[in-house]
Amino acid sequence: MKNYFQSQKSRTSTPRLFLVLALGLFLSSCATVPITERRSLQILPDSELATLSLQQYSEVLKKSKLSTDPQKVQMVRRVGGRIAQATEEFFKESGMGEEIKNYRWEFNLIEDDKTINAWCMPGGKVAVYTGLLPVAQDETGLAVVMGHEIAHAIAKHGNERMSQGLLVELGGVGLAAALGSNPSATTNIFMAAYGAGAQLGVLLPYSRVHESEADRIGLVLMAKAGYDPHQAIPFWERMSAKGGARPPELLSTHPAPESRIAQIKELIPEAMRYYKPG
């Protein structure tokens, strides 16, 4: 009888132990998103993601044709540089400078007029496609997109999505183990998690929470960089007009344009508190 009860006790305690360990993992892996202060689960080390980011960014650049138009390239790097500076200032002023101390910003323009997209990987590795420029029209329009994509990166939305992807596709193994056992699938999950998966035929939708956060944070960043956040409204209206049977990559994972524009109008007053006309 004693052995029976010990066995039963062991069976009962095992699920409890699992729950305790899972709760511990959750609490230890939670991080706070800037501005929105939402608590998010991020189980992957930033250092590992930064290393993979550098590798994949280099691969994308090798396989792509970079723009040789000096004016367009300079515009992308000028806008990116201003938003990067605003981002660093915001983090330092908020006492979170350590969060992005290892960012090494890089901005490249990829020659692809059919792709209306941009993305930012961990560590500040940014790519913009030439197909986006006619929709952006000018520096301020470009700042809307770059602020939004950089917001995804600093909010570590990719870490959340990557974590979810590993849990669903590969059973929740660590990043290093996933790369070792299934590098192709892991790479696809990574690229999709950071909005670059469209080029691989893979696209992992952002959640509405992530999109709303990126819009809100992006407006603050562009305003702090000296770009009028009011111009986000006509930009998304132009982007909406590009929709149809096959919407641009930048829209394919995003919420309905009407909902986004309505929300942006509500967020502008907050962003204007940071506005410093450039």
Within-domain flag for 45: yes
pLDDT at position 161 is 75
Spans of the chain below 70 pLDDT: 1-30, 41-43, 163-207, 243-256, 278
pLDDT at position 240 is 85
List pLDDT tens digits, range 225-244.
999 999 999 999 998 888 65
pLDDT at position 104 is 93
Total number of domains constituting the chain: 1
Rounded to 10°, the helix 139-154/157-170 angle is: 50
pLDDT at position 148 is 95
pLDDT at position 12 is 45
Sorted by sequence, the CB contacts under 8 Å of residue 103 that are 6+ apart come out as: 84, 88, 123, 124
Within-domain flag for 220: yes
pLDDT at position 223 is 98
Q: Would you call 126 exposed, middle or buried from its count of C-beta atoms within 10 A (0-12, 13-18, 19+)?
A: buried
pLDDT at position 195 is 54
Within-domain flag for 34: no
pLDDT at position 187 is 60
Within-domain flag for 28: no
Residue pair 233/265 in contact (Cβ under 8 Å)? The answer is: yes
Residue with tokens 């893979």: 202
Within-domain flag for 255: yes
Question: What residues are annotated to the active site?
Answer: 149
Residue with tokens 């006509």: 234
Within-domain flag for 2: no
Within-domain flag for 132: yes
pLDDT at position 49 is 75
pLDDT at position 26 is 41
pLDDT at position 43 is 67
**206-236 b/e (C-beta count within 10 Å ≥ 16 → b):** beeebbbbbbbbbbbbbbbbbbbbbbbbebb
Of 261, 266, 226, 268, nearest in space to 243 by CA = 261
pTM of the model: 0.74
Cα–Cα distances in angstroms (integers) from residue 263 to residues 95, 237, 243, 270, in the given order: 28, 13, 19, 12
Within-domain flag for 251: yes
Q: Whole domain around residue 233: which residue ranges?
A: 39-272
